[in-house]
Chain A
Amino acid sequence: SQKIEQNSEALNIQEGKTATLTCNYTNYSPAYLQWYRQDPGRGPVFLLLIRENEKEKRKERLKVTFDTTLKQSLFHITASQPADSATYLCALDMSGSARQLTFGSGTQLTVLP
C-alpha cells in the first residue's frame, strides 16, 4: 500500500542554521508534492508545490527538492528563525486520477534562539 514517511517526529535546530526535513514515499509516483505548515490549533497553510518534472523550487528562505528516483522530497529552511517553529506536513497526490492529497504525519520543528 502507499506510504508517506516524514523524518523524526521532532527536530530541534539553532537559530540561523538550515533546517532540512525529509518526506519519503513508497510505490506510487505522484504527479506533484506539496508542503504545508501547521501551527498548534490552526489549519495547515500551503507553502510550496513541486511537480514531478521539477527538481527544485524556491520561495524566499524555503527550498524544496523532488527526487522521483529516490522517492523523496527534501524541504529546507535557510537562516531559520524561532518564528519558523511549527509542524511541517508533506502531501502527495496518491490517487492518480482523482487528484487527492494524502498527508504525511508531519515533522515538528523547533528553532531555538
Chain B
Amino acid sequence: EAGVAQSPRYKIIEKRQSVAFWCNPISGHATLYWYQQILGQGPKLLIQFQNNGVVDDSQLPKDRFSAERLKGVDSTLKIQPAKLEDSAVYLCASSLVPEGELFFGEGSRLTVL
C-alpha cells in the first residue's frame, strides 16, 4: 500500500516570496492533516480536513497560510508571503477515521532566508 506522498521534499525561498506544498494521502483516508514542525518541537496542527471540508483551522495563520483539499483527495498548503519564522518541516498526515492512527508523509522542509 502506498504511503502519504508529499512534494517538494525541500524548498528554499526568500522572505515575502510564496511557496506551495502538495500532499496525496493514502487512498480511502477521509481525514487529512497539515502539521508544522519547527526544529526541536513536536508537530503543531495547522488544519484538519474531513473529506473536502475543513474540521478545524484555528491554528492556521490565515493572513498568510491557505489550504485546500481538492475533491476530498489531494491537498495543497500555500504560504504567501513567507516569513523567517515559517522555516519548518510541513508534515501531511492522513487517517482512515478521525480517532485512528495517523500516517505521515516524509515532510517538506522549508527554509526562509
Q: B-contacting residues of A (Cβ < 8 Å)?
A: 4, 9, 31-32, 34, 36, 41-46, 49, 89, 91, 93, 95, 98-106
Give Cα distance in the complex from A103 to B41, angstroms: 9
Tell me the minimal C-beta distance from A62 to chain B in angstroms: 14
Interface residue? B106 (CB, 8 A):
yes
- In this complex, the interface size class of chain B, counting residues with CB under 8 Å from chain A, is 20 to 34
CA distance A6 to B43 in the complex (A): 14
Are A46 and B44 within 8 A (Cβ)?
no
Closest-CB distance, A1 to chain B (whole angstroms) = 13
* Chain A CB within 10 A, most for which of B4, B45, B103, B107: B45
Smallest distance from the beta carbon of A28 to chain B beta carbons, Å? 15
B61 at the interface (CB under 8 A from A): no
Distance from B93 Cβ to chain A, minimum over Cβ atoms (Å): 7
Chain B contact residues, CB within 8 Å of chain A:
4, 33, 35, 40-45, 48, 55-56, 91, 93, 98-99, 101-107
Contact indicator B104/A101 (Cβ below 8 Å): no
Given A32-B99, A98-B55, A99-B98, A43–B105 Cβ distance below 8 Å? yes
Q: Are A89's CB and B106's CB within 8 A?
A: no
